[in-house]
Structure 1
C-alpha cells in the first residue's frame, strides 16, 4: 500500500492547477476571437486615458525643458507687484504648458508707464494681457479701443496709515482734509500724485470736492512740507520707520510693513477712501490669442483672486461686499477731466 502524505497531495493539486492555468493562458493567446472580445469591451477607455496622460505630461515637459512654441506663449504687462503676480503666472505655466513672458512696471511711475507703452504700441500690439492694479487707466485705454474686453477683480483701498509709536489712534487725523493742518507739517508721507493709485485717488477727490476747493487743498498739502516719494511702498516704509507719523498709501503696502512687524496701522474706511480693484484686459490684436484667452479666464478665477487676498495683495474679493461709504467715481466724467486734472497736479507737485 502506498501512503501519500497530505503535503504531497497539496503539491500535486498545485501542480495540476498550474498546468491548467498555463493551458488556459496558451489557449487565450491563440484565440483571436477572445482577444478581440476583450479589446472591444474596453476600447472606450483608451482615448480618455491617452488624453489625460498627454494633458498632464506634455505641459510639464514643455515647462521643464523650455520647448515652447510661439503658439504656446503669452505676453503680459502688469502693474501688480511682482512678488504677488509671479507665483500665479508660474502656476498658470505649470498647469497649461503656456509660457508667460511678463513685463512689470516701475515703482516710480507705476501704471502710467505701461499705459503709455500700450498707447504707443496700439497700431502694432506687443502684448496680449494687461493686468492692472487700478481702474482709471484701464478705463482710459478701453475708451481708446486698446482692449477687446476687460474685467475688474478683487480690490485694495487707499488709506491713512499711522505709526502707533509716534501717534495714538485717538490723536490721528481721521480725514484727508486734516493733513494740511500745521500739526502735521513735515510728518506726512505720500507718493507723488502724478501716477498710479495716488493720482487716481486725488482725481476722484477733485470730482467730489470741485476743482477750486480741490486745488486749494492740494496747494495747502504741498505747502505743509510732506514727504513726496517714489511710490506708495516707500510712503508706507517711512511711516513704518517712524520718519513720517502719517501716510497716505495703499492697503497692500501697509500689510507688507505689518508682516515685517512694523508699528503701522490703517485707519478705517471713510467717504474719502477709494476702493481700487485690479483689472484684467485682453489686448485687441495681440499675437497669441489662444493663450491670451486662457490666461484672461485663469486670472478671473475665484481661487486665483482668493490667493491674492490671502497674500494681502488684495483686501477683498468684491467691492460689493464693502458696506462702508467710500468714494464712488463717475468714471466717464473723470476721464473727460483727466488731462486737465493731471496738468493741475503737475503744477502743484511736480519737483
Structure 2
C-alpha cells in the first residue's frame, strides 16, 4: 500500500470516528406536547439552530391525553420535558411533585403572570389561547340560525344539534370552557348552563381546534373552540364569524416544564432556556396573539379586536385543584355524546 493510500485511509477513518463520536455525543430529548402538529417541525428547527447536538423526539396529543399520560407515568417518567401544555395541567403535575423546578436564563424578562410563582419556578408560560365561537355564516343562513352573541344564546332551541364543542377530559380548550363557565355562572349556574347547552350539542370532540375546523368545513354550523384557530381558518377563506361571547371568555396558557427524574437534565435546561427567549416568543406569535415576552406580539389577521377585554380573571389554581372533580362530574352528565376516540 502506498503512503498516499495509507494517509487517505487514515483520514477517512478519522472522519468516520468523528461522525460516530458526534452521533454518540448528540442527546435526544423526549418532549411531550399538545402544540398543533403543524408547528412542531418549526419549533424543533428553531431550537436546533442554536443547539444542533440536541434532538427532539415529539410525543404529541391533545391536552387531556398528554396530561393523563404523564400522570400515569408518575412512578416511571418517560418524558424529559413538557413543551406546550396547558398551565392548569402543569399545576396539577406540580402538585403531584412531578416537575423539576428551574429558573431558565432570561425568565425575568417575561410577564409575571406567565411564570409560576414559586422560586425557582416549576413552569414558565409561552402564550395564551382564548375561547371563542366559530360560526359558519353560510351554513347558519341556510339553516335559519341567528348569529349568537353570548354563551346563553347557544342554549336556545333553534341551535339544537348544530353545536360542537371539545370534551374537557381530552381537550385543554374544553376544560378552560367548562372551568370558566363554573367561575362566571357559579357552580350551580354553570352546571345548569351546561345541562341546557348539552341539549343542543351534536357531539363533543377530542381536540380543541376540531369544532372550529368542522365549522369551517360546514360539517357543523357552530364550533366552540379558540380564537386563533378561527382566525387561521378565516384567513384561508372559510366563511366564519368569530364570536366573542358577551359574558366573557375563558383562557389558558401553553407552558413548559422539566419532568422530575429526567436523566438528561442539562439538555432539558438548554431547551427550557430557549423556550423563554424573544426568538421563541416571536415564533409563538405566529400561532397566538398573546405571548409571554412583552413587546413581541404583533396583530394577527382576523383575530377579534375585543378579545383581550373579554378574557375573564381566570383562577388557574382553583381550576387545577378542582380538575378531577370537574371532569368526573362532566363525564357523568355529558360523555354520551363524545366522538369515539
Q: CA deviation at 1:167?
A: 4.2
Residue number among 45, 51, 54 corresponding to 1:99 in the alignment: 54
Contact kept in structure 2, 1:146 and 1:283, CA below 8 Å: yes
1:238 aligned residue: 214
How far apart are the structure 2 equivalents of 1:93 and 1:283? 21
Mapping of residues 219-238 of structure 1, within 5 Å: 219-238=195-214
Residue number among 168, 175, 184 corresponding to 2:150 in the alignment: 175
How far apart are the structure 1 equivalents of 2:293 and 2:276? 15
Residue number among 264, 285, 290 corresponding to 2:266 in the alignment: 290
More helix by share: 1
Residue 150 (str. 1) matches residue 135 (str. 2): no
Change (3 A) 1:289 1:80: same
Consecutive unaligned residues in structure 1, runs of 5 or more: 1-60
Secondary structure of the equivalent of 1:210?
helix
- The Cα RMSD (Å) is 2.7
Contact kept in structure 2, 1:218 and 1:348, CA below 8 Å: no
How far apart are the structure 2 equivalents of 1:212 and 1:319? 38
Residue number among 137, 150, 155 corresponding to 2:89 in the alignment: 137
Mapping of residues 79-98 of structure 1, within 5 Å: 79-98=34-53
TM-score normalised to structure 2 length:
0.75
* Rg larger for: 1
Consecutive unaligned residues in structure 2, runs of 5 or more: 1-17, 101-121, 298-306, 337-341
Q: CA deviation at 1:71?
A: 6.1
Residue number among 151, 162, 171 corresponding to 1:187 in the alignment: 162
Contact kept in structure 1, 2:150 and 2:245, CA below 8 Å: no
Contact kept in structure 1, 2:28 and 2:57, CA below 8 Å: no
| Count of residue pairs brought into register by the alignment | 284
1:350 aligned residue: 335
Residue number among 276, 290, 293 corresponding to 1:316 in the alignment: 290
Q: CA deviation at 1:70?
A: 6.0
Residue 341 (str. 1) matches residue 341 (str. 2): no
Contact kept in structure 1, 2:278 and 2:293, CA below 8 Å: no
